[in-house]
Homo-oligomer: A and B are copies of this chain.
């Protein structure tokens, strides 16, 4: 597991503890941090001094405790100097998000792009341009970007940072990390590539930092369906990063062939196309791929709100089919929370209640109940997760922020 521990490592671990302790909760005094972490007051002071030196933490205004005694100086995470960049490569857009150390989004950009008709090299050029914008922004604020986390809808090789296979992108063996590093030059931050559903799970997990949730399941869905799993507070990747490939579970329509080669895949029931087909006729505007997806979903949502029987029936069917697959995942994974992402949150009002009821009906023990919610992160979910992933490195080893 863990390696050799010397004084430097000890220091690093305690800096990490201090920074993570500071992340959860309000700014507070050194004295309070000392008792919280169990470190002595002296150590706490020198750790804070080091973290201030790294630009990760700063003194806030005085702490108004209201109690007796000398008031302390509140210490807060400094959001202005260190940034994580997250990106998402998807079928019809590229997204970028810059998140500061406090978890706040300081910049985001979306570039519409029809990936099918764009050469890979050009996509990479455009990604590089987005990153360069972010780098300029960081420079202007006299801050630094500690890393770039990129999500792609497909199979990713973590080591090499390449997309092995992304059917919806039409990509096969694209060395994203290497290509981008070449374009960005030596000043480019380290690049991490990951499956988009896994990044979505990371994003949802980090948003719920203070809710004491260590086991979370994130379900993303547009055309394809995938899951990201956080187990025991850690992203679960499986042997080779294939965990959560739930779109093709054999719990869909019996016998129906799926483009993947199997039959009866779940996403034939709960994927975007299945839902749209149920909810509207072929000529309907919601099928028009030249209209942005969000707009089409808004339209359907509007019809549901006004009582359109067809859409309501589609939602009811969708809820039932989702329930089947989710109950499988609940039995296997026992998550504390299930977050529905992708196109589902647009219909939370119609999906959450029936699915929750279905899961409850199957529940054998109180311990296997899960909290079902819709994602509130929207499109930025995977990009945000990418940024959180690289920021996590700073919390794990604050000294990496030293390179100026």
Could you list which residues of chain A lie within 8 angstroms of chain B, going by C-beta atoms?
Answer: 1-7, 9-10, 13-14, 16-17, 20, 37-39, 155, 164-165, 214-215, 227, 229, 231-234, 236-246, 248-251, 260-262, 324, 327-329, 331-336, 362, 364-365, 367-368, 370
Contact = CB atoms under 8 A, between A and B. Distances in A.
A245 B3 contact: no
Contacts of A324: 250
A1 to B, nearest CB: 7
Contacts of A261: 364
A331 B260 CA distance: 13
Given A227-B332, A232-B236, 20 more contacts: A2-B17, A4-B39, A5-B9, A5-B14, A5-B17, A7-B10, A9-B10, A214-B239, A231-B236, A237-B334, A238-B333, A239-B336, A239-B367, A240-B368, A243-B333, A249-B331, A250-B251, A250-B327, A251-B328, A328-B328
Given A246-B332, A365-B164, A215 B239 contact: yes
Contacts of A370: 239
B364 A260 contact: yes
A239 B334 contact: yes
Contacts of A6: 10
A14 B3 CA distance: 8
Contacts of A231: 231, 236, 238, 243
A367 B242 contact: yes
By DSSP majority rule, is chain A's interface helix, strand, loop, or mixed?
loop
A350 to B, nearest CB: 23
Given A1-B233, A2-B17, A14-B4, A238 B250 contact: no
Given A17-B2, A155-B367, A234-B232, A331 B246 contact: yes
A245 B331 contact: yes
A80 to B, nearest CB: 26
A365 B242 contact: yes
A22 to B, nearest CB: 14
A331 to B, nearest CB: 5
B13 A5 contact: yes
Copies of the chain in the assembly? 2
Contact of A215 (B5, B17, B165, B238): B238
A324 to B, nearest CB: 6
A331 B244 CA distance: 6
19 contacts: A2-B16, A2-B17, A6-B10, A231-B231, A231-B243, A232-B236, A236-B333, A238-B335, A244-B334, A245-B331, A246-B331, A246-B332, A248-B331, A249-B331, A250-B251, A250-B327, A251-B251, A251-B328, A332-B332
Q: Which of A214, A233, A250 has the most CB of B within 10 A?
A: A250
A272 to B, nearest CB: 20
A244 B362 CA distance: 15
Contacts of A37: 3-4
Contacts of A215: 238-239
Given A233-B1, A240-B334, A262 B362 contact: yes
Contacts of A165: 364-365
Q: Which of A250, A251, A331, A362 has the most CB of B within 10 A?
A: A331
A244 B5 CA distance: 35
Contacts of A246: 331-332
Contacts of A327: 250
Contact of A334 (B16, B233, B238, B332): B238
Contacts of A245: 331-332, 334, 364, 368
Smallest CB-CB A-B distances: 6 pairs? A238-B334, A240-B367, A242-B334, A239-B336, A243-B334, A4-B38
